[in-house]
Structure 1
Amino acid sequence: MFLNLEMEVKTESKVKMSTFSKLKRRRKLIISYTILSFLSLPLFLMYVWLFFSSISTDMIAGIIPTNITFENWRFLWENVEIGSKQLPSIWKATWNTFVLASGLTVMEGIISVMAGYALSRMEFPGRHFLLRSIILLHAFPSVALLIAVFYVLDTLGLIDTLWGVMLVKAALQIPMSTYIIKGFFDDVPWDVEWSALIDGCNRINAWYQVVIPLVKPGIAAISIFSFLAGWSEFLLLYAFIFDEKNVTLATYLQKIIGDFQMVDYGLLTAAGLFYMLPVIFFFIFTQKSLMQMNMGGSKHV
């Protein structure tokens, strides 16, 4: 009898503790989401304002849209004229932006994966020095190298080409991507690779068939960052691209601004939204891979 009573008391105590822990966890979640929602609200309202501004000719108090129109989106079906200047096709700019971002993603991904594996698995002279200085290489601002890079691209005949900008951007991005992917390789046990070698694989086959599948989240992460960096690039394009056939969406927006006394803000907001939408959708579909990002052997969620 006393034993049954004691068991009932313990069971009731466990239920109360479980309920209390659930309530405590739920309260923390509510507080966290409330704070995040409050901090994100200004950003959300700015996107809403951009949308309203892009479909109206006037805004009451700068907030409430009036005279709904799609005239600001005319760049989708015709070449826009600002003053005496005609802007290039938005679809040509979109294609160039996609080519730049995709090319940068492929180039940076291939080089970073090979370099990250070498730094993680192989011993060679200067390896430790390279590991210490790799972040320093990434820290160099591109604006400080513009003149030197201009002379290099001009000598190679790559000035005013998307390939030239792609090479420069990749060179600036690869150190950080290599550091990130190295962390993923560090998390792959040596035993897995040794097992493949014992089973008859050579070093390349073991790397490609066994190790690479295990670091796919890392490859996805650096690919996403590379694509976004290429899509949003402006400075290098503005400095090294002169021909309008190589215009991208970033420089297209700069051309809309042009003379600050003649800015069509409705057109600018519509083009800005058009520029952002692919990135927003791209992030929505790839955020799971970003949440698995790994740097230097320690996970960052």
Structure 2
Amino acid sequence: MEAVYRSETERNVSFAKTSRWKRRMPYVVAFSILFITTLPVILMYVWLLLNSFSSQMKHGFIPVGFTLDNWRFLWTNVEIASSVYPSIWLATWNSLVFAGVLTILEVIIGVMAGFALSRLRFPGRQGLLKITLILHAFPSIALLIAVFYILNFLGLFDTLWGVVLVKTALQIPLTAWIMKGFFDDVPWDVEWAGLIDGCNRFKVWYTIVLPLVKPGIAAVSIFSFLSGWSEFLLLYTFIISDSNITLATYLQKLLSDPNVVPYGLLTAVSVFYMLPVIAFFILTQKSLMQIHAGGGKGV
């Protein structure tokens, strides 16, 4: 009898273990795939970090010797043979100005345009919504010649403000569409209640509706800043002078220098370029986790 009871207990324990493994198996497979796919990216960033503090890399991936010489661009201008590079702090400031102004303009215009597309009914609204997405689908490189003539005519060629306006115009269609989705999720009853209480349309929009779409504003702000910080094509094409150089074009100068640029210096500048983005992500990750896609009703 005791042997039968022990055998039954062992079978129950074995069944429980099997069931537990079956429940965990999807998670094990998912995390395994995620680890395998992200491992090359993680190793790439680790290599950048190690190389930036190493005097050389044995066999291409084993760091040898610790040095801060690769980071000399932080306290002095880099000189390689006959090439003298601008201050990294000037490039950093220009990058911050470019990304910051782009974010402000894109959020202001995108929020107002999204609200108008969501709430106002006017002739041609359906066509405008479709054209909005089509405009965003145009690649920037297809518009370079036309944009050059426009900026040159306006006297904005080789200025950060000119490129900011171009980048804002290219980003606004998608921003307005995203914000429209968030405004669609706000019930009309909320606005009617404010109007009945004596608020005008602007006060209802500013004090009642905007607080309800804060996740959408956070999403647009974050992605606008990251888009501006990582922008290269427009800045490389329409910025010539070193006084308007950004970190993206600074890296390009290093890569295209006819002299041999040390990999250690190049990796150090690359790590420096990533640091503000990492800090920005850490500060905004709580808002990122609260972002949803927004509604699409009322189209």
Most deviating of 204-213 and 54-63: 54-63
Match of 1:167 in 2: 165
Calculate percent identity across the aligned residue pairs. 64
Which amino acid in the other structure matches residue 286 of structure 2? K
Match of 1:12 in 2: none
Distance 1:36 1:137 in 2: 34
**Partner Cα distance (1:281, 1:53) in 2:** 21
Q: How does 1:53-132 map to 2 (within 5 A)?
A: 53-132=51-130
Aligned 8 A contact 1:162 1:246 in 2: yes
Give the Cα separation in 2 of the matches to 1:226 and 1:57. Answer: 37
Residue in 2 that maps onto 1:183 = 181
* Residue number in structure 1 paired with 2:214: 216
SS in 2 for 1:237: helix
Amino acid at match of 1:263: V
- TM-score (structure 2 length as normaliser): 0.89
**Superimposed CA distance per residue, residues 213-235 of structure 1 (whole angstroms, 9 cap, x where no aligned partner):** 00000000010010001101111
Q: Are the counterparts in 2 of residues 100 and 166 from structure 1 also a CA contact under 8 Å?
A: yes
**Which residue of the partner structure matches residue 251 of structure 1?**
249
1:180–1:294: 8 Å Cα contact kept in structure 2?
no
Deviation of 1:289 after TM superposition, in Å, equals 2.4
- Name the counterpart of 1:229: 227
- Tell me the distance in 1 between the aligned counterparts of 2:232 and 2:75: 24
User: Among residues 35, 41, 44, which one is paired with 1:43 in the alignment?
Assistant: 41
One-letter amino acid matched to 1:39: T
Structure 1, gaps ≥5 residues long: 1-18
Q: What secondary structure is seen at the aligned counterpart in 1 of 2:158? A: coil
Contact 1:112 1:181 survives alignment (8 Å): yes
TM-score by length of 1: 0.89
- Alpha-carbon separation, structure 2, partners of 1:28 and 1:208: 46
Tell which deviates more after alignment, 288-297 or 168-177: 288-297
Measure, in 2, the Cα distance between the counterparts of 1:132 and 1:21: 51
Please tell me the root mean square deviation across aligned C-alpha atoms, in Å.
1.9
Distance 1:21 1:292 in 2: 34
Closer/same/farther in 2, CA of residues 135 and 21 from structure 1, 3 Å limit: farther
Aligned residues: 281
Partner of 2:280 in structure 1? 282
Distance in 1, matches of 2:36 and 2:106, equals: 37
Aligned to 2:7: none
Q: Determine the structure 1 residue equivalent to 2:5.
A: none
Q: Per-residue displacement from partner, 1:95-151 (whole Å, max 9, x unpaired)? A: 000000000000000000000000001101111101112111101111111111011
Task: For residue 99 of structure 2, give the secondary structure of its aligned residue in structure 1.
Answer: helix
210-219 or 23-32: bigger deviation = 23-32
